[in-house]
């Protein structure tokens, strides 16, 4: 067999011998958001207005921002912390509306875009974008008036990490300040098992011919969805394997975690409180008060 045939064969045997059920959080349990080439390709998805898979499209974001401003009661001069801010699409708008915003994200391309976007919008003096893993970021105590944690990213962390993060955010907020967290509604999460494949030569998974193999498993006891992807470069036979784990929470459990982290009250909004977002029915939004 040639080297290339060996590589194909190794990949397929590894796939055949994969643990079943899968182990969550193997190899990080997240997409490689902070890997430079992937981050660059992902940035295109964030900005693509034909879908809302990475960031919601502009028209939906505007509705969300109005809702968030109302629920967070932010006013001019308020300090806002945007956890996993991506390319700053929310942060820069809040800065345009008079907030001082700190955005944290570990994607180099997203942070570079956010800084440039703030500059282009004339609000770079009101924005600070940190390229950092939110799990290791620390903040000045009792400094912020409001915080965002949007599009389900708290769920990609293990329960202990999520609790520690909530505590860190609570510490960073002033008394009376609020945090908005958006998480998938556990009741509506797909609890089936599925597998799929497709080929392409462009997009998120690469810019050469590749085969993408995917499998989704619901771990009923732990309430975790695990997606496993194998992407095989058909020119080189190199492959990458990605394990994407999503911890889901029942609403009472999340409320309890928020209180344990230091929040005194929690409001729960199903389906984005009726906002007409394309996937609103899949989400619960928590507004937690320090
Ligand atoms: C679905 S995107 C949402 C981005 C943004 N909140 C929005 O809605 O436009 C998730 C973001 O989380 C970031 N992210 C994931 N895990 C992270 C971590 N451990 N530390 C910092 N950022 C992280 C990714 O880089 C990505 O920009």
Q: Is the pLDDT of residue 106 over 90?
A: yes
Does residue 21 have a cis peptide bond before it, meaning omega lies within 30 degrees of 0? Answer: yes
On whether both 73 and 105 belong to a single domain, the answer is yes
Whether residues 49 and 159 fall in one domain: yes
pTM of full prediction above 0.75 = yes
Looking at the chain, how many residues does it have? Answer: 290
- CB distance 105 to ligand 1 below 6 Å: yes
Q: Tell me: do 179 and 258 sit in the same domain.
A: yes
- Same domain, residue pair 124 and 198: no
Q: What distance in angstroms lies between residue 84's CA and the mean position of ligand 1's atoms?
A: 4
CATH code for the domain of 107: 3.40.50.150
Cα separation of 130 and 84, whole Å? 10
Q: Do residues 138 and 253 both lie within one domain?
A: yes
What does the pLDDT read at residue 26? 86
Q: Please tell me the predicted confidence (pLDDT) of residue 216.
A: 97
The Cα 253–Cα 182 span in angstroms is: 14
Tens digit of each residue's pLDDT (9 = 90 or more) over 186-204: 999 999 999 999 999 999 9
Task: Based on the fold, state whether residues 106 and 77 are members of the same structural domain.
Answer: yes
Question: Does 243 map to a domain?
Answer: yes
Spatial distance between the Cα atoms of 109 and 92, rounded to a whole number of angstroms: 16
Residues of the chain with pLDDT > 90, as a percent, come to 98
Q: Please state the rounded mean pLDDT for residues 88-100.
A: 98
Residue whose CA is at the smallest distance from ligand 1 atom 26: 86
Q: Is the beta carbon of 135 within 6 A of some atom in ligand 1? A: yes
Instruction: Count structural domains, the chain.
Output: 2
165-189 per-position pLDDT tens digit? 999 999 999 999 999 999 999 999 9
Q: Tell me, yes or no, whether 228 lies in a domain.
A: yes
- Is residue 36 in some structural domain? no
Tell me whether residue 239 is in a domain: yes
- Across the chain, what does the average pLDDT equal? 96
Q: How far is the CA of 210 from the centre of ligand 1 (A)?
A: 25
Residue 283 and residue 174 share a domain: yes
With respect to residue 16, please indicate whether it lies within any of the assigned structural domains.
yes
Query: Could you give the CA distance from residue 109 to residue 100 in angstroms, rounded to a whole number?
Result: 22
Mean of pLDDT values over 82-87:
98
69 shares a domain with 81: yes
Angle at 109 between CA 103 and CA 115, to 5 degrees: 45
In a domain, 87, yes or no: yes
Would you tell me how many other CB atoms lie within 10 Å of the CB of residue 141? 10
Residues 98 and 157 in one domain: yes
- Name the percent of the chain in helix, strand, coil, to the closest 5: 35, 30, 35
Q: Is residue 37 part of a domain?
A: no
Q: What average pLDDT does this structure show over 230-249? A: 96
What mean pLDDT comes out for the span 243-251? 97
Model pLDDT, residue 28: 78
From ligand 1's centre to the CA of 130, what distance in Å?
A: 12
pLDDT in tens, 20-66: 999 999 877 899 999 999 999 999 999 999 999 999 999 999 999 99
**Residue 35 counted as domain residue:** no
* pLDDT the model gives residue 27: 77
Let me know whether 128 and 227 are in one domain: no
Residues 135 and 254 in one domain: yes
Pocket flag, ligand 1, residue 70 (CB < 6 Å): no
| Structural domain span for residue 229 | 3-30+190-247
Q: Give the nearest ligand 1 atom to 46 CA.
A: 9
Measured in Å, residue 153 CA sits from the centre of ligand 1 at 6
Cβ proximity of 178 and 288 under 8 Å: yes
Same structural domain, 162 and 66: yes
Q: Is the CB of 43 under 6 A from ligand 1?
A: no
Indicate which atom in ligand 1 lies nearest the CA of residue 89: 9
């Amino acid at each position: 067999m040639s080297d290339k045939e060996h590589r194909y064969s190794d990949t397929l045997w590894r796939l055949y011998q994969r643990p079943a059920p899968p182990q969550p959080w193997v190899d990080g349990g997240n997409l490689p958001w902070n890997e430079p080439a992937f981050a660059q390709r992902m940035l295109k998805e964030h900005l693509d207005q034909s879908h809302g898979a990475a960031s919601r499209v502009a028209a939906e974001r505007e509705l969300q921002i109005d809702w968030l401003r109302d629920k967070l009661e932010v006013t001019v001069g308020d300090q806002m912390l945007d956890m996993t801010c991506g390319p700053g699409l929310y942060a820069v708008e809040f800065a345009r509306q008079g907030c001082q915003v700190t955005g944290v994200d570990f994607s180099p391309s997203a942070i570079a875009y956010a800084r440039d976007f703030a500059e282009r919008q004339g609000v770079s003096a009101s924005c600070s974008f940190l390229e950092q893993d939110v799990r290791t970021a620390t903040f000045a105590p009792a400094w912020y008036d409001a915080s965002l944690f949007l599009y389900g990213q708290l769920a990609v962390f293990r329960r202990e990490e999520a609790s520690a993060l909530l505590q860190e955010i609570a510490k960073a907020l002033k008394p009376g300040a609020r945090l908005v967290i958006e998480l998938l509604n556990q009741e509506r999460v797909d609890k089936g098992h599925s597998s799929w494949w497709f080929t392409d030569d462009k997009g998120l998974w690469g810019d050469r011919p590749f085969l993408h193999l995917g499998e989704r498993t619901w771990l009923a006891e732990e309430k975790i969805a695990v997606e496993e992807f194998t992407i095989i470069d058909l020119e080189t036979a190199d492959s990458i394997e990605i394990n994407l784990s999503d911890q889901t929470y029942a609403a009472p459990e999340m409320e309890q975690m928020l209180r344990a982290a230091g929040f005194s009250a929690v409001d729960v909004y199903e389906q984005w409180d009726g906002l007409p977002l394309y996937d609103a029915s899949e989400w619960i939004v928590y507004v937690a008060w320090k």
